Amino acid sequence: MKRNTLHPALFIIAGLLVAGLAFIGCEGDQGPAGPSGTNPDMPPIITVVVAAPDSVGTGESTTLFVSAYDPNGDAMTYAWTATAGTLSTPTAPVTNYTPPSGIGLYEISVTVTDNDGSVSGIVRVGVNTYVPSVTPSFLGDNANRCSHCHEAKVSGWEGTHHAEAYQSLVASSSENNPYCLQCHTTGWDDIVAFDGSIITPGVDNAGYDDYPNPNLRNVTCEACHGPMGPDFSSHEPDIELVVTGETCNRCHSQYEEYQPSAHGTAIERAGGIEEFNTEFNRSTCNFCHTSEGFIKKWDADWADREVPAEAYQVSCATCHDVHSYDADNNPAYLRGLAEFPIVYAGPDHPDTLWVPNEELGLLSFGKGALCAQCHHARRDVNNINGQINNGTPRPGPHGSPQADMLIGYGSYEIPGYTYERESVHQPDVVIGEASLEDMCVTCHVHTIPGDTPGHDYHGHSFAPVVEACNQCHATADGFDYRGRRTEIQNQMNELMALLPNNGTQPYMDTLHTTRAQREAGYAWFFVLNEGSMGVHNYTYAHSLLTNAIEYVSPGGPGYTDPSDAILAKK
């Protein structure tokens, strides 16, 4: 049962004293008899430990009482200890306790000892709050409690919307509305309908729905990391990185959009959590395929932490760090990233290309830099040249070269051919009054107003929507704008027909092909793995395929007569 008032219980002591005297006054030895008919040597037994009242106001005291008996009739001693506050008679069975003035729960322990051993019990006292029936319980005042060890995180949090969530209700006169309070306070675990009725009741764990503790106003540390009472300093349960997104789901509808997305179904598509970790929780994969791996790589506070054996798929906390907010530069709480090189290969090119920030570098992607960090090709020069020189059972780039395609670099390029790279979708290109200053985010995280307030679509399925295209292409009614996707698909079909294994192995082994076929084939795999079929950068995709087709067509410098003996490595 939830409690909203304090309930003194001084009368309890009288009853307990009577019960204690009943034990002490019984004639004969107490407890089980040993083989000789006498009791074995046994330590004391505590029957009850109580505080009356168990909740007090600032500066007030309470009475603590322990009832115990000794099975052998031995003399007993008592020792009360408290991590905070003062005890009047700490060696007596009854003592007065004055807790600190700060709101919260305080734990006091008592040890009863005889010649054969000792036994301990605990009791909790609330100051300006009550003692909940369920632990762990909420304490509040996290800004002060947590900042002793996590000052930077708390300092960042203080500038976020979470830190002023309750104040926003006051501003709209909604501070007494349960439907609003469940997301603007800490520890509210009742699920409340819009009309204020309780859909699913929570537990009695001292959350704001149980007792309106002012220190639980706003969305504080415990809201995401869990209750830390009754003993805050013990870290039980331990604070862990929250990555599943289910915590966010309670108040942020974007999670419902995320769930059916490719990110949200990665574990399901892998066959389960065990299969997911076997496939993707490797050091070469987990920094993009798992939340913990990504955060370890990019968040300095987690750099020394090991990725757990059971890691989780990309979710809310992978991309968003709610401990920091910058209204001008980072209103979406995105994690900050550094620049990375775009790698491409060929005799006419340098080994590694660091595209200048002011032109086409990662930092010019704006908010899309977060996406580009994982959505790029990931093949180094040695790998690409090895594929071309020797063939491979896994040809092409890693299945994510979207950033490379956007800036018009990253594929193997056949020597002697010219490649067009510019696209209207590149950074800082302005069409009318619109531009793609945030690149990926502009189109893939596009908000569409809902029919009613609070029911907008926020783009967290990450699927492109035509409404995003219409920001620049007002007449577009689909993604095959001007038939360009169809044109790229036709080129893909034409190139595939010129390569070995046409129609039998789309993801073909290239070990038994000519070098020229592997040079041309890399373009096919690059466009295939990139996935947009020209939408991201029609010019570069078209150029890659046009040059590859010409190279291996009859009369081209890389053509091989199909009647020739099959295609040993050359």
pLDDT at 340: 62
Contact 548/388 with Cβ under 8 angstroms? no
Do the bridges between strand 55-56 and strand 117-127 make them parallel or antiparallel, or are there none, so unpaired? parallel
534 and 500 part of one domain: yes
**By C-alpha distance, which of 443, 379, 417, 381 is closest to 516?**
417
Between the alpha carbon of residue 56 and those of residues 6, 9, 88, 161, the distances in Å are 8, 11, 16, 33
The answer to whether residue 557 is domain-embedded is: no
Q: Which helix (H) or strand (E) holds 117?
A: strand 117-127
107 and 147 part of one domain: no
Q: Which helix (H) or strand (E) holds 352?
A: strand 352-353
Q: Which pair of structure tokens corresponds to residue 509?
A: 């082994």
Give the angle subtended at the CA of 411 by the CAs of 406 and 412, to the nearest 5°: 160
Q: Which pair of structure tokens corresponds to residue 337?
A: 């990233």
Give the angle subtended at the CA of 220 by the CAs of 58 and 461, to the nearest 5°: 160
111 and 186 part of one domain: no
Mapped onto helix, strand or coil, the DSSP state of residue 465 is: coil
How far is residue 530's CA from residue 400's CA, in Å, rounded to a whole number? 6
Contact 125/97 with Cβ under 8 angstroms? yes
For 215, phi then psi, to 5°, come to: -75, -5
Mapped onto helix, strand or coil, the DSSP state of residue 457 is: strand
How far is residue 416's CA from residue 419's CA, in Å, rounded to a whole number? 10
Mapped onto helix, strand or coil, the DSSP state of residue 468 is: helix
247: phi > 0 → left, psi -120 to 50 → alpha, else beta; which? Answer: alpha
Strand partners, 97: 62, 87
**By C-alpha distance, which of 142, 143, 152, 145 is closest to 300?**
152
The answer to whether residue 304 is domain-embedded is: no
pLDDT at 8: 43
168 and 75 part of one domain: no
Residue whose pair of structure tokens reads 């501070």 in the numeric block: 175
349 and 431 part of one domain: yes
How far is residue 16's CA from residue 77's CA, in Å, rounded to a whole number? 18
User: Residue-wise pLDDT tens for the chain (570 aa)?
Assistant: 444 444 444 444 445 444 444 444 443 444 444 444 455 788 999 999 999 999 999 999 999 999 999 988 899 999 999 989 999 999 999 999 999 988 888 889 999 999 989 999 999 999 988 899 888 889 888 888 888 888 988 999 999 999 999 999 999 999 999 999 999 999 999 999 999 999 999 999 999 999 898 999 999 999 999 898 877 776 666 777 778 888 899 999 899 999 999 999 999 999 999 999 999 999 999 999 999 999 998 777 788 889 999 999 999 999 999 998 888 878 889 887 666 666 655 555 555 554 444 444 555 678 888 898 899 888 888 888 899 999 998 899 999 999 889 888 889 999 999 999 888 887 666 555 556 778 899 899 988 887 776 678 888 999 988 988 888 888 888 888 889 999 999 999 999 999 886 544 545 678 888 999 999 999 999 999 999 999 999 999 999 999 999 999 999 999 987 655 344 333
Count of domains forming the chain: 3
pLDDT at 76: 96
Contact 518/396 with Cβ under 8 angstroms? no
Mapped onto helix, strand or coil, the DSSP state of residue 48 is: strand
The answer to whether residue 570 is domain-embedded is: no
Q: Considering 85, 104, 127, which residue would you say is the last residue of a domain?
A: 127
490 and 355 part of one domain: yes
Mapped onto helix, strand or coil, the DSSP state of residue 30 is: coil
How far is residue 164's CA from residue 219's CA, in Å, rounded to a whole number? 8
Strand partners, 118: 113
Q: Considering 211, 239, 267, which residue would you say is the last residue of a domain?
A: 239
Q: Which pair of structure tokens corresponds to residue 28?
A: 């004969």
The answer to whether residue 156 is domain-embedded is: yes
113 and 197 part of one domain: no
Contact 544/523 with Cβ under 8 angstroms? yes
Contact 296/287 with Cβ under 8 angstroms? yes
The answer to whether residue 562 is domain-embedded is: no
Q: Which domain holds residue 206?
A: 142-239
Ordered DSSP codes for 75-115 = --EEEEEESSSEES-TTSSEEEEE--SSSEEEEEEEEEEET
pLDDT at 358: 45
Separation of first and last alpha carbons in the chain: 79
188 and 96 part of one domain: no
Exposure of 178 in the CB half-sphere (CA atoms within 13 A):
17
Q: Which pair of structure tokens corresponds to residue 528?
A: 């295939």
Beta strands in 462-519 (DSSP E): none
Strand partners, 198: 192
Q: What DSSP character marks residue 53?
A: S
103 and 146 part of one domain: no
**Residue 57, Cβ neighbours under 10 Å: how many?**
11
**Residue 236, Cβ neighbours under 10 Å: how many?**
12
How far is residue 99's CA from residue 63's CA, in Å, rounded to a whole number? 11
**By C-alpha distance, which of 232, 234, 248 is closest to 144?**
232
Give the CATH number for residue 80. Answer: 2.60.40.10
**Residue 8, Cβ neighbours under 10 Å: how many?**
12
Q: Which pair of structure tokens corresponds to residue 151?
A: 């000052």
Q: Considering 179, 214, 239, which residue would you say is the last residue of a domain?
A: 239
100 and 215 part of one domain: no
48 and 165 part of one domain: no
Give the angle subtended at the CA of 428 by the CAs of 427 and 429, to the nearest 5°: 95
Helix, strand, coil % over all residues of the chain, rounded to 5: 30, 15, 55
The answer to whether residue 375 is domain-embedded is: yes
The answer to whether residue 262 is domain-embedded is: no
Contact 431/423 with Cβ under 8 angstroms? no
* Per-residue 3-state assignment (H helix, E strand, C coil) for 271-337: CCHHHHHHHHCCCCCHHHHCHHHHHHHHCHHHCCCCCCCCCCCCCHHHHECCCCCECCCECCCECCC
The answer to whether residue 295 is domain-embedded is: no
Strand ranges of the sheet holding 62-69, from the earlier edge strand across to the other edge: 45-52, 62-69, 94-98, 86-87
Contact 246/317 with Cβ under 8 angstroms? no
391 and 490 part of one domain: yes
For 18, phi then psi, to 5°, come to: -65, -45
pLDDT at 158: 94
Q: Which pair of structure tokens corresponds to residue 32?
A: 């089980």
Residue whose pair of structure tokens reads 């996935």 in the numeric block: 531
